[in-house]
Amino acid sequence: MTRITDLPVEEQVLPGNRACAGCGLGIGLRAILKALEGRAVMTVPASCLTVLGGMYPVTSVQMPWVNCAFPSTAAVAAGISAGLRATGRSEELTVLAMAGDGGTADIGIQALSGAAERNDDLIYLCYDNEAYMNTGTQRSGSTPAGARTTTTWRGKRENPKDVPRIMEAHRVPYVAVTSAAFPTDVYDKVAKARQMRGLRYLHMHTPCPSGWGFDPALSVRLGKMAVECGLAILYEVERGAFRLTGRSAALAKAGRPLEPVDACLDAQSRFKGLDAEARAAIQAWVDERWVEALERHERGR
Ligand SMILES: Cc1ncc(C[n+]2csc(CCOP(=O)(O)OP(=O)(O)O)c2C)c(N)n1
Ligand code: SF4
Ligand SMILES: [Mg+2]
Q: Pick the atom of ligand 2 nearest to 22's CA.
A: 7
Residue nearest to atom 3 of ligand 1 (CA): 70
Q: Is the CB of 67 under 6 A from ligand 2?
A: no
Contact 23 CB / ligand 2 (< 6 Å):
yes
So what's the pLDDT on residue 209?
Answer: 98
Q: Is residue 16 part of a domain?
A: no
Pair 44, 62: CB distance under 8 Å: no
Q: Read off the CATH number of the domain in which 103 is found.
A: 3.40.50.970
Q: What is the pLDDT of residues 181-232, one digit of tens each?
A: 999 999 999 999 999 999 999 999 999 999 999 999 999 999 999 999 999 9
Does this model's pTM top 0.75? Answer: yes
Which atom of ligand 1 lies at the shortest distance from residue 211's CA?
20
On whether residue 2 sits in a domain, the answer given is: no
Q: Indicate the pLDDT class of residue 103, thresholds 50, 70 and 90.
A: very high
Distance (Å) from CA 19 to ligand 2 centroid? 6
The values of phi and psi at residue 56, to 5°, are -50, 135
47-95 pLDDT per residue, tens: 999 999 998 899 999 999 999 999 999 999 999 999 999 999 999 999 9
Nearest CA owner, ligand 1 atom 2 = 70
Whether 181 and 207 have beta carbons less than 8 Å apart is answered as yes
Q: Is 222 in the pocket of ligand 2 (CB under 6 A)?
A: no
Does the residue 9 lie in any domain? no
**269-283: average pLDDT:** 97
Give the chain's length: 301
Q: Is 235 helix (H, G, I), strand (E, B) or coil?
A: strand
- Centre of ligand 3 to C-alpha 105, Å, is 10
Asked whether residue 8 is assigned to any structural domain, the reply reads no
Q: Is the pLDDT of residue 1 over 90?
A: no
Q: Is residue 1 part of a domain?
A: no
Atom of ligand 1 nearest to the CA of 46: 9
Atom of ligand 1 nearest to the CA of 129: 20
Give domain status of residue 223, yes or no. yes
Would residue 15 count as lying in a domain? no
In a domain, residue 3? The reply is no
Q: Which domain holds residue 188?
A: 21-299
Number of domain units in the chain: 1
Question: Is any atom of ligand 1 closer than 6 Å to the C-beta of 183?
Answer: no
